[in-house]
Chain A
Amino acid sequence: MSDVTELEAPGGSIGVYTRPKANTGWRDWITTVDHKKIGILYGATAMFFFVIGGIEALLIRLQLATPDGTVLGAETYNRVFTMHGVTMVFLVIMPLAAAFANYLLPLQIGARDVAFPRMNALSFWVFLAGGLFLNMSWIVGDAPDGGWFAYAPNTGMIFSPGKGMDYYAIGLQITGIASLVSAMNLIVTVLNMRAPGMTLFKMPVFTWMILVVQFLLLFAVPVITVALFLLLFDRNFGANFFNPEMGADPLLWQHLFWIFGHPEVYILILPSFGIISEVIPTFSRKPLFGYPFMVFSGIAIGFMGWGVWAHHMFVSGIGPISVAAFSVSTMFIAVPTGVKILNWLATMWGGRIRFNTPMLFASGVVSMFTIGGLSGVTHSVAPADTQQTDTYYIVAHFHYVIFGGALLGIFAGFYFWWPKVFGHLLDEKWGKWNFWLMIVGFNMTFGPMHILGLQGMSRRIASYSPGFGFEFWNMFASIGAFIIALGVAVFLINVIISARRARTAPPVGLDPWDARGPEWFTPNPTPVHNFDSEIQIDSLDEFWHRKYGEDEDGRVVRVATAEEVCQDGSATDIHLPSPSYWPVVLAAGLPFIGFGLMYTLWFCVLGGALVLMGIYGWIFEPVDDPDGPHGHGHHADEPTEDVPPEDSVDDEPLETAEEAPVG
């Protein structure tokens, strides 16, 4: 059904700002404010950057496969590893989590969209702008080379002349805006827009983890914003924030960066924890073991994550008392994380486990993250860390938690929710090849790095010399990296093959996995309006409890078919937020402002004009369909010129007066 897009704004509107009408084609995608499409945009864009970051990884591994490698010169190597880190953290894992959060959050809380749909679109376009801006640095031949952590004073003007670190700082400021805006949007959405009956403790675990992540983003992004501003001011205006010659302390950068950076790693992992908390119960055919503990441990990790940042600085000279404090706090953050691992195992225990591809990936997370978590505990021991830090042992640790933990969880999510998003399953056989290639390649690449690190191989070295014992495992790791690449290629092939086959195959139908969460109430793929009518939530796993009850002996019995429980998506006349041009316009202005700061102020003028146009267009564009049902979150993002007519239904947008089922 096409959106209703009549655009006669009462009270008069400025004619040029009529809302766009397209609902197919590229114009649809550019102006969409539909959280589902935005989720898909995030996912596709992030996978594009994943390929770029993966190529950067392969270049690193080619260079390090042999001693005194000559594939990349030292300068280029420093750029490649910097961009690999920046890309994977900011342009891949974070937006992949955003993809799932955007698509699923409204569905999991029974809402029609997020609180501020245009802001949602803005977040995506700003993220894209930031990602393109960062990678422009390659095109102009001056990619940043200071590491993703960009320690001062190496990143100041004296030691990093040229524009690379400006691309870094400005690019991350832009992506930071995207994250911050999205965090505010999703927090309001979850706190305000849950379906009737859905108290916080009936929310799915994925939603909970995303909520915690948004609070982490809300408070962590401003801190790196400050750090990046200080760096930019040092580099471009002669400020003295990191200039030791004038009495500044280079450690200020580290503190600011890691106060952001440590919560950031929980931002990276918690979404994946949320995903597998949905997948494992489904495929074990049991509820998640210990829901309250899972929620509270996620919250605990969110809180405790603020108190451990200086474990990244154990050898920086902060003094033994500080080191002692952070060593102890870091040890204790292992506790809530361990609880989660054990709860996932306890979920599987006593279950009837189907090892479909989503479950393979989810199980992979549990195992691989355990390894990463255990090596993390060894780092927390400060004296031991004086040997481990800045070596490949650390590289092993964080790849186990980020790749083995976050990325594998995201792949679990791909396979699990693909039918919900696209209406067909990803092929199981290709899926299994995808999984095995990735997990074998991954362990081949990063397992040996534990050894390399303990044998003294430093991080961030463009090459190593023969005679230090590093040759064998580096070659082994490099081979593993190409196996990972093969696994990723298999995934992309799977996507294409499954889409092709779906054209002629029967539709996937309702509830293909016999799942538990509220998002499965809707047919597959999700209709554009999400729910035909509002869901009343009486319990956690409401969807499951409508399908299954218990007999006298306490055994689980099916009480309703999927057709009976699910909606059929046939509702018409449900009003949706209208599309808008202005998020794209606003987002487009930001990189121009960035270029202006680096090259010529005329770009700033252009960028500023686009931003202002975007803001004013946004504020003054006509209300979407004033005759449609107004309701919750509807007028949230523009001041209306009019008061809603008395006869409009002022409630949740999922029903019109005519449609409300009675009784």
Chain B
Amino acid sequence: MSLRRSLSPGRLVALTAGGLLALTGCAADAPLDTLEPQGPISRSIDSLSDPIFLIAGIVFVIIFGATAIIWWKFRDDHSTDEFPHQLHGHFRAEIGWTIGPAVLMAVIAVFTLLSHFELNSEDRTDIVVAVDGERTPWDPEILVVGQQWWWEFRYYFDGLDGLDLSDARHLPPADIVAANQLVIPTGSEIGLKITSRDVIHSYWIPALNGKRDAVPGRVAPWKIEAEKPGVYFGQCTEFCGLSHSRMRMQTVAMDPADFQLWVDQQMQPAVEPIGAAALRGREIFEGQCARCHVVNGINDGGGADLVSNAAPNLTHIMSRTTFAGGIFDLYEADGSLNRTQLEAWLRNAPAEKPAYAEGRRGMPAMGLSEGQIDDVVAYLQTLGTAPAMDVIAATEVD
């Protein structure tokens, strides 16, 4: 009786494990899924890890199968009182199962190293980008800067070589400064240089590549490449304090033509707002928000009243589909502004996303009246052009 029960751990676990493995495959609606690569880099990782998962699974089945057999076959069924053969060891078997796994590991090591060095190599080709009407070859490297609790992306169309990136809080002025969403053209390997303005973060877009830490004081090389246009989701993956769980980002991949349009838009200065509400909103912005946030033409690069010395550049905020560190949709499914959430954010940001206002980290509550909030929203709506509907739709997760 107890024998059957003693079998069930093996069976139970085998069933569970098998079931788990099976269920892993049918992950619907998992925007951060590592097992559904959407780009060549993540695919190369997957082509290495899939066989290794398989090997692990086979070893698992063998060991568990052996265990189950042993438990069943050699259970004490009280049919005899004799002692079993007192085998002390078997030198050859032990050498065998020392060398065997070692050989297997060596084989895995070879494939791992091949994949690893390729993953860490750079193979970029220049992209031709029109900057201010002039077509320039651009070595596509984007500076990714993490800080509590959002991501900034800085584009330098003359390339990053020769720039002094050693002090992330005082970076050279960039051609485009974006936040929350890294926009890239499809079909090109895009280099990333990843750093931080405060604590360690980690940049991770699972569909396109593994993660790389953003370490203050260091600039880490990495890369990303998308094959198809789309919105690829990410999450900060190195514990970075209070709102670590609320530090997200997306990579938006566009056809090269659309990417050029995006570049053109981003290089525009802020449009002069029309309408009383928007003008009032700009006044409020200049008086309060501009302590931290930047709108090109108003307060470029003066730094922010925060420990990290930076807050998101809002010049083209409307061209993004998320805000507040990539956690809220800026647009509803029908393309209208997500006014409720945006107002809630302006009303009391720490209630939406925890922050340390006195510690000058994260966005504080601004103490705006309802009227002021409406005005600021009106002003923000003048900052940038709404993205295409398919990008908005692709951002919805639920």
A55 interface residue per 8 A CB criterion = no
Please indicate the chain B residues that have their CB under 8 angstroms from the CB of A364 in the complex.
9
Q: Which of B364-398 contact A (CB under 8 A)?
A: 396-398
Please indicate the chain A residues that have their CB under 8 angstroms from the CB of B233 in the complex.
456, 468
Contacts A74-B354, A250-B200, A349-B70 known; A386 to B327 CB distance under 8 Å?
Answer: no
B76 interface residue per 8 A CB criterion = yes
B217 and A159 contacting across the interface, CB-CB below 8 Å: no
A465 and B397 contacting across the interface, CB-CB below 8 Å: yes
A335 and B200 contacting across the interface, CB-CB below 8 Å: no
Q: Which of B1-47 contact A (CB under 8 A)?
A: 2-3, 5-6, 9-10, 12-13, 16-17, 20, 23-24, 27-35, 42, 44-45
Most buried by B among A250, A289, A387, A457: A387
A598 interface residue per 8 A CB criterion = no
In the assembled complex, the CB of A429 is this many whole angstroms from the nearest CB of chain B, namely 11
A381 and B215 contacting across the interface, CB-CB below 8 Å: no
A451 and B20 contacting across the interface, CB-CB below 8 Å: yes
B211 interface residue per 8 A CB criterion = yes
Contacts A154-B241, A349-B70, A451-B20 known; A250 to B87 CB distance under 8 Å?
Answer: no
Render A424-450 as a binary contact track against B, CB cut-off 8 A, 1 for contact: 000000001000100110010001101
A348 and B20 contacting across the interface, CB-CB below 8 Å: no
A355 and B6 contacting across the interface, CB-CB below 8 Å: yes
Q: How far is the CA of A349 from the CA of B89 in the complex (A)?
A: 11
Render A281-323 as a binary contact track against B, CB cut-off 8 A, 1 for contact: 0001111011111000000000000000000000111001001
Q: Which of B76, B112, B236 makes the CB contact (< 8 A) with A327?
A: B112
Segment of A3-11, A25-33, A206-214, A337-345 engaged in the interface with chain B: A337-345
A74 and B242 contacting across the interface, CB-CB below 8 Å: yes
Q: Which of A293, A443, A555 makes the CB contact (< 8 A) with B83?
A: A555
Contacts A338-B101, A387-B45 known; A317 to B212 CB distance under 8 Å?
Answer: yes
B171 interface residue per 8 A CB criterion = no
Q: How far is the CA of A454 from the CA of B30 in the complex (A)?
A: 10
B217 and A247 contacting across the interface, CB-CB below 8 Å: yes
Segment of A100-108, A370-378, A498-506, A580-588 engaged in the interface with chain B: A370-378
A383 interface residue per 8 A CB criterion = yes
Please indicate the chain B residues that have their CB under 8 angstroms from the CB of A334 in the complex.
101, 105
Please indicate the chain B residues that have their CB under 8 angstroms from the CB of A328 in the complex.
109, 112-113
Closest residue to B238 on the A side, CB-wise? A390
In the assembled complex, the CB of B320 is this many whole angstroms from the nearest CB of chain A, namely 18
B93 interface residue per 8 A CB criterion = yes
Q: How far is the CA of A292 from the CA of B12 in the complex (A)?
A: 33
B244 and A387 contacting across the interface, CB-CB below 8 Å: no
Q: Which of A161, A351, A383 makes the CB contact (< 8 A) with B49?
A: A383
Q: How far is the CA of A144 from the CA of B52 in the complex (A)?
A: 38
Please indicate the chain A residues that have their CB under 8 angstroms from the CB of B44 in the complex.
383
Contacts A345-B70, A370-B60, A386-B210 known; A466 to B20 CB distance under 8 Å?
Answer: no
In the assembled complex, the CB of B140 is this many whole angstroms from the nearest CB of chain A, namely 21
In the assembled complex, the CB of B65 is this many whole angstroms from the nearest CB of chain A, namely 11
Contacts A154-B241, A371-B60, A454-B24 known; A366 to B83 CB distance under 8 Å?
Answer: no
A508 interface residue per 8 A CB criterion = no
B116 interface residue per 8 A CB criterion = yes
Q: Which of B83, B87, B115, B240 makes the CB contact (< 8 A) with A352?
A: B83
Closest residue to A385 on the B side, CB-wise? B210
Render B207-221 as a binary contact track against A, CB cut-off 8 A, 1 for contact: 001111101111010
Closest residue to A540 on the B side, CB-wise? B88
Contacts A286-B84, A383-B119, A456-B235 known; A332 to B16 CB distance under 8 Å?
Answer: no
A197 interface residue per 8 A CB criterion = no
Closest residue to B105 on the A side, CB-wise? A331
Most buried by B among A382, A384, A388: A384
B59 and A374 contacting across the interface, CB-CB below 8 Å: yes
B120 interface residue per 8 A CB criterion = yes
Please indicate the chain B residues that have their CB under 8 angstroms from the CB of A287 in the complex.
86-88
Q: How far is the CA of A579 from the CA of B9 in the complex (A)?
A: 47
A455 and B117 contacting across the interface, CB-CB below 8 Å: no
A465 and B327 contacting across the interface, CB-CB below 8 Å: yes
In the assembled complex, the CB of B89 is this many whole angstroms from the nearest CB of chain A, namely 4
A316 and B215 contacting across the interface, CB-CB below 8 Å: yes
Closest residue to B113 on the A side, CB-wise? A324
Q: How far is the CA of A209 from the CA of B307 in the complex (A)?
A: 49
A251 interface residue per 8 A CB criterion = yes
Contacts A151-B200, A251-B215, A458-B235 known; A335 to B102 CB distance under 8 Å?
Answer: yes
B276 interface residue per 8 A CB criterion = no
Q: Which of B52, B63, B220 makes the CB contact (< 8 A) with A370?
A: B63
B71 interface residue per 8 A CB criterion = yes
Q: How far is the CA of A506 from the CA of B67 in the complex (A)?
A: 37
Q: Which of B116, B119, B198, B396 makes the CB contact (< 8 A) with A159?
A: B198
Q: Which of A178-205 contact B (CB under 8 A)?
A: none
Please indicate the chain A residues that have their CB under 8 angstroms from the CB of B82 in the complex.
352, 555-556
In the assembled complex, the CB of A175 is this many whole angstroms from the nearest CB of chain B, namely 22
Please indicate the chain B residues that have their CB under 8 angstroms from the CB of A360 in the complex.
6, 9
B119 and A348 contacting across the interface, CB-CB below 8 Å: no
Please indicate the chain A residues that have their CB under 8 angstroms from the CB of B53 in the complex.
378
Please indicate the chain A residues that have their CB under 8 angstroms from the CB of B23 in the complex.
451
Q: How far is the CA of A89 from the CA of B185 in the complex (A)?
A: 47
Closest residue to B30 on the A side, CB-wise? A469
Q: How far is the CA of A291 from the CA of B307 in the complex (A)?
A: 59
Please indicate the chain B residues that have their CB under 8 angstroms from the CB of A223 in the complex.
none
A530 interface residue per 8 A CB criterion = no
Please indicate the chain A residues that have their CB under 8 angstroms from the CB of B94 in the complex.
290, 293, 339, 342-343
Please indicate the chain A residues that have their CB under 8 angstroms from the CB of B85 in the complex.
286, 350
Q: How far is the CA of A531 from the CA of B64 in the complex (A)?
A: 42
A381 and B49 contacting across the interface, CB-CB below 8 Å: yes
Q: Which of A397-425 contact B (CB under 8 A)?
A: none
A461 and B48 contacting across the interface, CB-CB below 8 Å: no
B66 interface residue per 8 A CB criterion = yes
In the assembled complex, the CB of B134 is this many whole angstroms from the nearest CB of chain A, namely 35
B97 and A447 contacting across the interface, CB-CB below 8 Å: no
A158 interface residue per 8 A CB criterion = yes
Q: How far is the CA of A335 from the CA of B88 in the complex (A)?
A: 21
B211 and A350 contacting across the interface, CB-CB below 8 Å: no
B228 interface residue per 8 A CB criterion = no
Q: How far is the CA of A374 from the CA of B3 in the complex (A)?
A: 27
A391 interface residue per 8 A CB criterion = yes
Contacts A250-B216, A335-B105, A469-B28 known; A158 to B45 CB distance under 8 Å?
Answer: no
In the assembled complex, the CB of B199 is this many whole angstroms from the nearest CB of chain A, namely 4
Contacts A285-B84, A331-B105 known; A386 to B211 CB distance under 8 Å?
Answer: yes
In the assembled complex, the CB of A322 is this many whole angstroms from the nearest CB of chain B, namely 11
Q: How far is the CA of A126 from the CA of B157 in the complex (A)?
A: 60
Most buried by B among A154, A160, A341, A556: A154
Contacts A327-B116, A348-B70, A378-B56 known; A469 to B307 CB distance under 8 Å?
Answer: no
Please indicate the chain B residues that have their CB under 8 angstroms from the CB of A454 in the complex.
24, 33-35
A73 interface residue per 8 A CB criterion = yes
Closest residue to A364 on the B side, CB-wise? B9
Please indicate the chain B residues that have their CB under 8 angstroms from the CB of A467 in the complex.
29, 31, 396-398
A443 and B12 contacting across the interface, CB-CB below 8 Å: yes
In the assembled complex, the CB of A347 is this many whole angstroms from the nearest CB of chain B, namely 9
Q: Could you pull out 18 A-B pairs where Cβ atoms are within 8 angstroms?
A: A74-B354, A248-B217, A316-B213, A332-B105, A350-B87, A371-B17, A374-B56, A381-B52, A383-B44, A386-B45, A432-B5, A454-B33, A454-B34, A456-B31, A456-B233, A459-B237, A469-B28, A469-B30
Given contact pairs A320-B116, A371-B13, A375-B56, a sample of 9 additional A-B residue pairs in the complex whose CB atoms are under 8 Å apart? A286-B83, A317-B218, A327-B116, A349-B74, A353-B75, A367-B13, A367-B67, A450-B24, A455-B27
Which residues does A use to contact B, with CB under 8 Å? 73-75, 78, 146-147, 151, 153-154, 158-161, 244-245, 247-251, 284-287, 289-293, 315-317, 320, 323-324, 327-328, 331-332, 334-336, 338-339, 341-343, 345-346, 348-355, 360, 363-364, 366-367, 370-371, 374-375, 377-378, 380-391, 432, 436, 439-440, 443, 447-448, 450-451, 454-469, 548, 555-556
Q: Closest 3 A-B residue pairs measured CB to CB? A: A386-B210, A456-B32, A467-B397
